[in-house]
Amino acid sequence: MRPYTYHVIAGAILLTSWHLIIAAIITQILARTTTLLDSRHSLPVSRRFYLSTILPIGLVSSGSLVCSNFVYLYLSVAFIQMLKAFAPAIVLFVSWVWGVADPSVGDIINIMWIVSGGIMASLGEIDISWAGVAFQLSGLMFEAVRVVMIQTLLSSKGLNMDPLVGLYYYAPICAVLNLLIAGTIEIPSVSWEDIRQVGWIIFCLNALFAFLLNFVSLVLIAKTSGLVTTLTGIFKNILLIIFSIIMWQTRISMTQMLGYSISLIGLVYYSFGYRKLAAAYHAAILWLLGLRE
């Protein structure tokens, strides 16, 4: 087992359950004391709605969380971030299947470019575990389905649900499902002494910031799309790769670096397009010429 594995995954599902419990409590309080969630009264909420919409979101959220944490038992942090280059392709595919996206030929070619870089990075991995790769790709698939389902829930083409109302409905379900998983995997190995060492103030602040992050993520999905939300994680992935190399001396092969660079080029091109990149290039040239003068 990798030396940092226990510290990465221990209590992660339980901690996420805590985040969701606090999110459920906050949204319940807001619903009863403010008018911020009054739009929920106009929604066609029923038992069928819960079973067909809210429960599946909870299931795929839990699946994403479990797979995304167990992968650290098998793969390095740097390689995990490289595999996340597949995320835009998976989200685009799920969006197309769901009927919320109609990718052009150019989009498909660009995504295939990104995937080819991810495959090259995988082939160049020094210490590869195919079980870990399977966990990571499964986690990405669960996450893609989650963001597309939330996009459908919040967008004007779907229920046009307010992001805060969306959190009001699915946070309790996700909290219960995650607690069931944590009860089997994590709770037996977690003691009150571990919690006391961290401190309740830290736990509460952590949950508050997690609530704000969840809300901002939902707003981003509602205002843009699941694919755009996935693309915003690129910079974080790069930082994690650098941190992994510095902190844990993770070995990175030239094939991996080349493959991930190919994926990054594709991601940047997909995010900004030719015109914006060309304009940025010309602006940089003019700036450099101005410095020489």
Predicted confidence (pLDDT) per residue in 60-101, tens digit: 888 887 788 778 778 777 778 777 777 877 888 888 888 877
Return the minimum-mean-pLDDT range out of 44-48, 171-175, 201-205: 44-48
Q: Which of 100, 220, 89, 226 is nearest to 157 (CA)?
A: 100
Percent of the chain clearing pLDDT 90 (strictly above): 2
Return the minimum-mean-pLDDT range out of 153-157, 180-184, 192-196, 258-262: 153-157
What average pLDDT does the segment 223-229 reach? Answer: 60
8-state DSSP, 159: T
Q: Which of 256, 158, 186, 196 is nearest to 14 (CA)?
A: 186
| Cβ contact 250:78 at 8 Å | yes
Question: Residue 2: what pLDDT?
Answer: 43
What's this model's pTM, rounded to 2 decimal places?
0.69
d(CA 121, CA 259): 4
End-to-end Cα distance, the chain: 57
Tens of pLDDT, residue by residue over 238-248, are 666 677 677 76
Tens of pLDDT, residue by residue over 19-52, are 888 888 988 998 898 888 888 877 777 788 788 8
